[in-house]
Structure 1
Amino acid sequence: MKPMLLYYYESPNARTACAVARHVRAPVEFVRIELRQGEHRRPEFLAINPNGKVPVLVDGDTTIWESPAIAAYLAQKTGSELWPSAPSQQVELLRWTHWGAAHFNRHAGSLFFERVAKPIFGLGAPDAATVEEAGKHLRHFAKVLDTHLRERRYLLGDALSTADFAVAAMLPWTRAAQLPLDDYAHLGQWYARIEALPAWRQPYPDADAVDMAA
């Protein structure tokens, strides 16, 4: 039987998929795609994911893009409680996962791009207007998340789920991207629990891998 292949780079969404794979002990083989050398634009990779992005999971005839879908697939395949069994909890998981992508991580990602990705890939200086707008929106949605977490350990209550991994995707870069999150104590306590997970701290197969969060 061929191993599952998880294509990644040390970027937020791919990092999250790798962390979930580590956490559930999925039998994956990690394949690093060097974005700075344009490996994601090569025909052989575009044949796997025509979007030209990581992460991608290949399991036999099944190919999955997008980190939340990969996380869900791996959690279900390994029988992990990261994917809840109750339909009502599955709906709640999807709600927070989509909220994170559409709101919280959208604006955190803008700051990440301006302050972290641009220097790494030589794309010029941060755009001041974009930074100001993203910071304003991120503070609004951080307050929503902080309020939700006031009496909860995780997004779904007491149980860790793939939604926590998805919504936390940008937080390893809080300092580098200068995310304005210091005023949200419950959010900070929640993320400290995520950060305490060994798989989150070291999601990559190579202990010497250079994480963009460093």
Structure 2
Amino acid sequence: MKLYYSDTLNPRKACAVARHLKLPVEFIHVALEKGEHRTPQFCAMNPNAKVPVLVDGELVLWESNAIMCHLAEKAGSDLWPRDERRIEVLRWLMWDATEFAPAASTFYFEHIIKPRFLRSEADPAEIARVTPDFERYASVLEAHLKGRDYLVGNALTVADFAVGITLPYAGKTGLPLQAFPEIRRWHAQLDELPAWREPFPALQATAAA
């Protein structure tokens, strides 16, 4: 399997799951700053011109959540459950994509992507605009996490990898987590996973197992 990635937010999910499961994945870095994601060769794999992309034999798969689920299924891992929990995992993946992530990832875009790739500073007005949304949905997550170690079935799943993906950058992005102790506790637990702390392979490396 080949996993095309950059050291940015959504590829972090796929890389973390691949490394956590110790799968025989060849990690191929895509230099966004050089436009490598817009080349005809890359766009033939993903017409959206985005990373990550997983190539597994004849299968070419894009979208980080789908890649996580495929990797977990490939490994026979309960990260993508086979029982009734699967619907609950799917619910949290959808909630993250439509509610939580759009607000949380704006902090990431403003404070990390703009300075790095656009050579511009964060827009305080944009941060102010999304802060109420972030706090609203963080309150939903906070309430759900009370008495739980993980989001679904009290066991680690791809839902945790998805919903928590902006939290490693909380310090750099100024995510307002002060009022959310359960979220901070949950992320501290995720941070005990080596693959969560260090999801990306060294750029000089071409493979990891």
What is the CA-CA distance between 1:62 and the residue it aligns to? 0.3
- 1:109 counterpart residue number: 105
Q: Give the whole-Å Cα distance in 1 for the aligned partners of 2:25 and 2:100.
A: 29
Q: Is the counterpart of residue 149 in structure 1 residue 145 in structure 2?
A: yes
Whole-angstrom distance in 2 between the partners of 1:208 and 1:102: 35
Deviation at 1:208, TM superposition (A): 8.0
The yes-or-no answer on 1:93 pairing with 2:89 is yes
Residues 121-130 or 33-42, more deviating: 121-130
Give TM-score scaled by structure 2 length. Answer: 0.94
Distance 2:23 2:55 in 1: 13
- Equivalent residue, structure 2, for 1:61: 58
| 1:8 partnered with 2:13 | no
Question: Displacement, 1:9?
Answer: 0.4
What is the CA-CA distance between 1:111 and the residue it aligns to?
1.3
List gaps (5 residues or longer) in structure 2: none
Q: How does 1:162-177 map to 2 (within 5 A)?
A: 162-177=158-173
Say whether residues 1:195 and 2:191 are aligned partners: yes
**Alpha-carbon separation, structure 2, partners of 1:104 and 1:181:** 13
Residue deviations 1:124-173, cap 9 Å, x none?
A: 23223211111111011111000000011100032100000010111111
Shift of 1:123: 4.5
> In 1, are the aligned partners of 2:111 and 2:172 still within 8 Å (CA)?
yes
Distance 2:121 2:106 in 1: 13
Q: Give the length in aligned residue pairs.
A: 205
Separation in 1, partners of 2:177, 2:197:
20
Residue-by-residue CA offset, 1:20-56 (whole Å, 9 max, x unaligned): 0011111110000000111101111111111110000
Structure 1 residue ranges, 4+ long, deviating more than 2 angstroms after superposition: 122-129
In structure 1, distance between residues paired with 2:136 and 2:177: 10
Task: Provide the rounded CA distance (Å) in 1 between the counterparts of 2:92 and 2:14.
Answer: 17
Task: Say yes or no: does 1:80 pair with 2:77.
Answer: yes
- Give the CA deviation at 1:207: 7.8
When the two chains are superposed, the root-mean-square deviation of aligned CA atoms in Å is 1.4
Tell me what 1:212 maps to: none
In the alignment, the residues of structure 2 paired with residue 205 and residue 124 of structure 1 have an alpha-carbon distance, to the nearest angstrom, of 28
Aligned to 1:30: 27
Alignment gaps of 5+ in structure 1: 210-214
2:85/2:153 contact within 8 Å kept:
no
1 or 2 for the larger relative contact order (CA 8 Å, sep ≥6)?
2
> Structure 1 length normalisation: TM-score?
0.92
Q: Where does residue 49 of structure 1 map in the other structure? A: 46
Tell me how far apart the structure 2 counterparts of residues 195 and 157 of structure 1 sit (CA, whole Å).
19
1:108-147 to structure 2, matched below 5 A, reads 108-147=104-143
Answering whether residue 180 of structure 2 is matched by residue 184 of structure 1, we say: yes
Query: What is the distance in 2 between the residues matched to 1:63 and 1:32?
Result: 16
Alpha-carbon distance in 2 for matches of 1:139, 1:198: 28
Identity among equivalent pairs (%): 46
